[in-house]
Chain A
Amino acid sequence: MSDLEQFRSELRSWLEANCPEEMRQPARSEDDVFWGGRNPTFQNDAQKAWFEACVEKGYTVPDWPTEYGGAGLNAAELKVFRQEMNRINARPPLSSFGIWMLGPALLHFGTHEQKERFLTEIARGEIRWCQGYSEPGSGSDLVSLQTFGEDKGDHWVVNGQKIWTSYADHADWIFCLVRTDKSDKYRGITFMLYDMESEGVSTKPIKLISGRSPFCETFFDDVKVPKSYGENIPAQVGEVNRGWDVAKYLLGHERAMISGQSGGERTGSLGAALARNDMIENDLMRAEIAMFDIDALAFAAMAEKFADEIKVGKCHPAQPNMMKYAGTELNKAKHELVMTAGGSAALEWESDASKDGKHARDWLRTKANSIEGGTSEVMLNVISKRILELPGG
């Protein structure tokens, strides 16, 4: 048996013993997702047991180094890990912007001491992070952001407003883009880390067309941010005034992550799922669904190829933009079809039968897919400039 097959076999036994039955089905709603944090709320004992077992093995962040709370899996092992998790439909034990966003930034730009502290906290689900990027006047043109941190020697004083801060009202800490030099647009932004309990921080949820509010407006009113949290633990990631480099790096990750949600090995045939519930009304709808399935199954192959290529550095650095564009457009198209196939039942907004309008709310939520993390139009701009090398702008 090869080392990899040995790993698979051991992992299978471990999952068998440690992943509770209740955790072997996809999350039915937002409530099924565990986010960690200072005051964690577990939905049930199974969720708690599954989370704790994974923390013990480093499986909340399987590919992070063991010294920072991960399991240190290499690329091949990680692929096996995902396959085995998918095989039994295991839920992610922990979801967090720390894992998806801050972690990769720290792994790439952080000091050893920063990693030791923050990565370990993330891996163990102790601190829940939120992301402070967009501002009311800085959406697609993010680099124009105005939230300002005034240098006061051993600390900054931050004033300004962020928008679209996901779960800011539940977050413990924020990683935030703050202007620290008004004279340089690109080299005047610092990637700061600070506590959401700091005096002067307030949040206000934003209600979306889906009726839900994962997003917040976040206000900073004379927030005092210390420049250091201990020896070799600066409050910023990367250099002061070089936060744009970190932000750009992370946007790549975010785009890959968003695109991955609608692709990957889990993508099955939409038509097959609808047909099981007798939801394909006639041949014209059947044809349209088949046309969608062709795109979806082809994109699943693309997602797998992209994941393989990115691990070995074989893909174009701007390729995540293409994945984000195609993946989000596809997901929107999918939910249009799901709504159509569902008929009037899918219109129900408040009923037990519709799980309080799951179809309708999910459909509306997908409309943000091609806006958040860079709009489709910005993605197309990037592809045309950086990959096709078309002139201008």
Chain B
Amino acid sequence: MAMYYNDDQTMLSDTAGTFMSEEGAIAKQLRHWRDRDCPDGFGHALWKQFAEMGFTGMLVSEEDGGLGMGHVEAGIVLEEIGRNLTPSPFLTSSVMAASALGQGSAEMRGRWLPGLISGDSVFAVAVDEGPKHRPQNIACRAEKSGNGFKLSGKKTFVIQGASADMMVVAARTSGADDDNDGLTLFAVPKDASGVDQDPVRLVDSSMASHVTFDGVELDGDAVIGEVDGGRDILNAMLNAGRVGAAAEGVGVARGAMDITVDYLKQRKQFGTIIGEFQALQHRAAHLYSEVEIARAAVLKAQQKLDEGSENIDLFVSVAKAKVAKTASLSVKEGVQMHGGIGMTDEYDIGLFMKRDRALQEFCGDLYYHAGRVAELSGY
């Protein structure tokens, strides 16, 4: 597969870019909802617009009413989301939950996917159980109970958990906490009794819940895929999330770089435009180079996912890690090169720094993925 967008993808990139910079703009969405202390952290009306644009069901198969597109296409939308810091349920609902639900039964897909596609439903994913991403260790348990299960345990960093109509929950149905096997994914509806949401606003103004499951009773038809066979579905969902977060991170890196370079062209000090200073030019040029490389790493991982290659884990971790390095560089350089006004809430550059910090942590940080790169390469 050639490593550039085909005509359809180029068109999608233009459409998504225009839509996000208009409807998803920082003033219209992120600042708007933040300044109103919105308990969702995003706008439902925008989510409906995502549906009208055909974004919500991009990764859902055509037979389930979606567009049957791939991770390259989802990444195009995510990069624009990143550039505009547009808060939405897209990554967790349309990329991650959709990936898991796609492995579910016809009943499961029929129950949840239409609401996703129409933009009426929001889904969350509940995987992490502590402050760091450790999916190899799942303590949350679902015990067999009659024809169904009783789910108990705690999850954390559940993005938009309190807004979600359904949560995809990774729980242990057999074995020890660190066993590879014995995991099962459940689709837990909002109204299930025994679910306690403790929503918290994060540094980037998004909302994430600490969720406690206290003997939550679930029917057998809440199981996604096979009982005890959840590891592969979880890995696929996390890989989709990692590559998706990487694509959004590239957008954040680009957005921060673009406004910084613009600023360098306007700000005058010592009687000259500061963009004429070579000390700043070289840092901006180095940043450009890193952002280009990060983009390529992400496109490679997206293509590998879409091709269904076998050794995708390495490409996924390289992409997530490279973006972690690059987006962090971009926002830090951005604030520094803005100088004092970069520290003000009025300017957007600080918002990029905050969003990057949250994305770094989502689905594994730089060190998690660097460790995986080493392990997968045999060292």
A residues in contact (CB < 8 Å) with B: 269, 271-272, 274-276, 280, 286-287, 289-291, 293-295, 297-299, 301-302, 304-306, 308-309, 312, 314, 319, 322, 325-326, 377, 379-381, 383-385, 387-393
Q: Is the CB of B373 within 8 A of A322?
A: no
- For residue B190, CB closer than 8 A to chain A, the reply is no
CA distance A97 to B102 in the complex (A): 54
Residues of B within 8 A of A314 (CB): 4
Given A271-B374, A314-B4, answer yes or no on A301-B299 (Cβ-Cβ < 8 Å).
yes
One of B23-31, B50-58, B276-284 contacting the partner: B276-284
The distance from the CB of A130 to the nearest CB of chain B, in whole angstroms, is 31
Name the residue on A nearest B376 (C-beta). A269
Given A388-B261, A388-B285, A391-B276, answer yes or no on A305-B294 (Cβ-Cβ < 8 Å).
no
CA distance A393 to B370 in the complex (A): 40
Residues of B within 8 A of A291 (CB): 325, 370
Given A384-B282, A388-B285, answer yes or no on A302-B292 (Cβ-Cβ < 8 Å).
yes
The distance from the CB of A256 to the nearest CB of chain B, in whole angstroms, is 14
Q: Is the CB of B318 within 8 A of A286?
A: no
Closest 5 CB pairs of A and B: A392-B276, A275-B379, A298-B297, A384-B281, A383-B285
Interface string of B205-241 (1 = CB under 8 A from A): 0000000000000000000000000000000000000
The distance from the CB of A390 to the nearest CB of chain B, in whole angstroms, is 4
The distance from the CB of A151 to the nearest CB of chain B, in whole angstroms, is 39
Q: Is the CB of B318 within 8 A of A294?
A: yes
Q: Which of B265, B282, B290, B378 contacts A380 (CB 8 A)?
A: B282
The distance from the CB of A104 to the nearest CB of chain B, in whole angstroms, is 22
The distance from the CB of B25 to the nearest CB of chain A, in whole angstroms, is 23
Q: Is the CB of A297 within 8 A of B285?
A: no
Q: Is the CB of A290 within 8 A of B374?
A: yes
B residues in contact (CB < 8 Å) with A: 2-4, 261, 264-265, 273, 275-276, 278, 280-282, 284-286, 288-290, 292-294, 296-297, 299-300, 314-315, 318-319, 321-322, 325, 369-371, 373-374, 377-379
Instruction: Give me 28 A-to-B residue pairs in the complex whose CB atoms sit less than 8 angstroms apart, sorted by A's number.
Output: A269-B378, A271-B374, A272-B379, A287-B370, A291-B370, A294-B322, A294-B369, A297-B297, A297-B314, A298-B293, A299-B293, A304-B296, A305-B299, A305-B300, A308-B4, A309-B4, A319-B292, A325-B286, A380-B285, A380-B286, A381-B281, A381-B285, A388-B285, A390-B261, A390-B276, A391-B273, A391-B275, A393-B276
What is the interface of chain A mostly: helix, strand, loop, or mixed? helix
Given A289-B379, A293-B373, A391-B265, answer yes or no on A305-B286 (Cβ-Cβ < 8 Å).
no
The distance from the CB of B36 to the nearest CB of chain A, in whole angstroms, is 36
CA distance A286 to B280 in the complex (A): 33
Q: Is the CB of A383 within 8 A of B3?
A: no
Q: Is the CB of B296 within 8 A of A301?
A: yes
Q: Is the CB of B288 within 8 A of A294?
A: no
Residues of B within 8 A of A305 (CB): 3-4, 296, 299-300
The distance from the CB of B278 to the nearest CB of chain A, in whole angstroms, is 7
Q: Which of B278, B289, B314, B325 contacts A383 (CB 8 A)?
A: B289
CA distance A381 to B377 in the complex (A): 36
Residues of B within 8 A of A377 (CB): 282
Q: Is the CB of A325 within 8 A of B289?
A: yes
Name the residue on B nearest A315 (C-beta). B4
CA distance A393 to B371 in the complex (A): 44
- Scoring A287, A289, A294, A299 by chain B CB atoms within 10 A of each residue's CB, the highest score goes to A294
CA distance A392 to B374 in the complex (A): 44
Q: Is the CB of B322 within 8 A of A295?
A: yes
CA distance A291 to B318 in the complex (A): 10
Q: Is the CB of A322 within 8 A of B289?
A: yes
- Scoring B264, B289, B325 by chain A CB atoms within 10 A of each residue's CB, the highest score goes to B289
Residues of B within 8 A of A389 (CB): 265
CA distance A325 to B280 in the complex (A): 17
CA distance A302 to B378 in the complex (A): 23
Q: Is the CB of A294 within 8 A of B285?
A: no
Residues of A within 8 A of B278 (CB): 381, 393
Q: Is the CB of A390 within 8 A of B300?
A: no
Given A287-B370, A294-B325, A305-B299, answer yes or no on A274-B379 (Cβ-Cβ < 8 Å).
yes
Q: Is the CB of A294 within 8 A of B321?
A: yes
CA distance A188 to B319 in the complex (A): 48
CA distance A390 to B265 in the complex (A): 6
CA distance A312 to B297 in the complex (A): 20
CA distance A355 to B4 in the complex (A): 42
Q: Is the CB of A308 within 8 A of B3?
A: yes
Given A294-B321, A309-B3, answer yes or no on A390-B288 (Cβ-Cβ < 8 Å).
no
Residues of B within 8 A of A326 (CB): 289-290, 293
Q: Is the CB of B296 within 8 A of A302?
A: yes
Q: Is the CB of B297 within 8 A of A392?
A: no
Q: Which of A280, A309, A379 contacts B379 (CB 8 A)?
A: A280
Q: Which of A293, A295, A319 contacts B377 (CB 8 A)?
A: A293
Name the residue on A nearest B317 (C-beta). A294
Q: Is the CB of B300 within 8 A of A304?
A: yes
New contact pairs (14) apart from A293-B318, A293-B377, A301-B296, CB-CB < 8 Å = A271-B374, A271-B378, A275-B377, A275-B378, A289-B379, A299-B293, A322-B292, A325-B289, A381-B285, A388-B281, A390-B265, A391-B265, A391-B273, A392-B276
Q: Is the CB of A298 within 8 A of B296?
A: yes
Residues of B within 8 A of A390 (CB): 261, 264-265, 275-276, 280-281, 284
Q: Is the CB of B300 within 8 A of A388?
A: no
Name the residue on A nearest B280 (C-beta). A390
Q: Is the CB of B371 within 8 A of A392?
A: no
CA distance A385 to B369 in the complex (A): 35
The distance from the CB of A34 to the nearest CB of chain B, in whole angstroms, is 32
The distance from the CB of B379 to the nearest CB of chain A, in whole angstroms, is 4
Q: Which of B2, B3, B282, B294 contacts A298 (CB 8 A)?
A: B294
The distance from the CB of A121 to the nearest CB of chain B, in whole angstroms, is 34
Q: Is the CB of A308 within 8 A of B2?
A: yes
Q: Which of B284, B294, B314, B378 contacts A384 (CB 8 A)?
A: B284
